[in-house]
Amino acid sequence: MQGSKAELRWWSYLITAVVIFGIWHLVAVILDSIALPTPVTVFFAFIAGLKGDLISHLLISTLRIVYGIALAFSLAVPIGLASHETRVDKFVAPFIYLLYPIPHIVLLPVIILLFGIGDLSKIILIAMIVFFQILVTTRDASRNISENYIYPMLSLGASRREIYKHVILPACIPKILTAMRISVGTAIAVLFFVESFATYRGLGYLIMDAWSRANYPDLYAAMVTMALLGFGIYVLLDQVEKRVCRWVYV
């Protein structure tokens, strides 16, 4: 049963992909502009890129984004979970309220002045933006845990640490993973922004470079690779969620 269901989903994804590429092809043929090559042209540019240095650019972009998300995750989740305690939340909530709505991307010059123009600045900017998305969600989740889950633990004589282990963490994990999946889109956007200058490595650089050379097949190949990067991380997180949160899907 499970197998046939999964197969069915694979087919639906495949059909959707074919439809998307079909529309792209159709529009490219109708417009007949060098600015919009057909998917086939881009595919060949992509294959040529794989033989060239596309992989190494993809790798460096992957590292930047994975480090950024990992850094954000390791800071935001503990703070968000600890916000379950009203004492902690009293400090955290005002900070979130004041700092979250600010567009953090404008802090780029400050971050570069402080951390240089290397990978560290890029990772920190990605981490900073994703941090708030994960923190806000984790905090809301941990604040909204019903007392009906806490009382049974107290009646069984659980310590605070045990309540976190058995209730607060598992109750928040689905929300945390959803927040991370959503933040992948943001992280990729920030990645493009930080890679579009002062670097000669990464997919963002590749896009800007191909654009300035007016090499449109290369431009699209780099864009497709960036899309695949986002898609890959998204699928990975989705699989982690299905595995870790089996109880949500039964």
Question: Interface residues with another protein (CB under 8 A)?
Answer: 148-149, 151-158, 162, 166-167, 170-171, 173, 245-247, 250
- Lookup: tokens for 146: 């019903």
Distance between CA 81 and CA 160 in Å, rounded?
Answer: 12
Nearest Cα to Cα of residue 95 among 70, 76, 110, 108:
76
Nearer Cβ to another protein, position 243 or 246?
Answer: 246
DSSP 166: I
Rounded to the nearest whole angstrom, what is the least distance from the CB of residue 2 to another protein in the complex? 15
Minimum CB separation of residue 67 from another protein in Å reads 29
- Which of 161-177 are b and which e, b meaning 16 or more Cβ less than 10 Å from the residue's Cβ? eebbeebbeebbbbbbb
Could you tell me the smallest distance in angstroms from the CB atom of residue 163 to another protein?
10
C-alpha dist (Å) from residue 237 to 99, 134, 177? 27, 14, 7
Taking the complex as a whole, the smallest distance from the CB of residue 241 to another protein amounts, in Å, to 13
User: Judged by CB, which is closer to another protein: 171, or 224?
Assistant: 171
- DSSP assignment of 95-145: HHHHHTTS-GGGGHHHHHHHH-SSHHHHHHHHHHHHHHHHHHHHHHHHHT-
Which CB, 26 or 154, lies closer to another protein? 154
Q: Which is nearer to another protein, 51 or 246 (CB)?
A: 246
The span from the CA of 176 to the CA of 73, in Å, is 9
Pick 166 or 181: Cβ nearer another protein: 166
Q: Which is nearer to another protein, 39 or 174 (CB)?
A: 174
Closest approach, Cβ 157 to another protein, in A, equals 5
Q: How far is the CB of 178 from another protein (least distance, A)?
A: 15
Q: Which is nearest to 217 in space by CA: 40, 31, 41?
A: 41
What's the full length of the chain, in residues?
Answer: 250
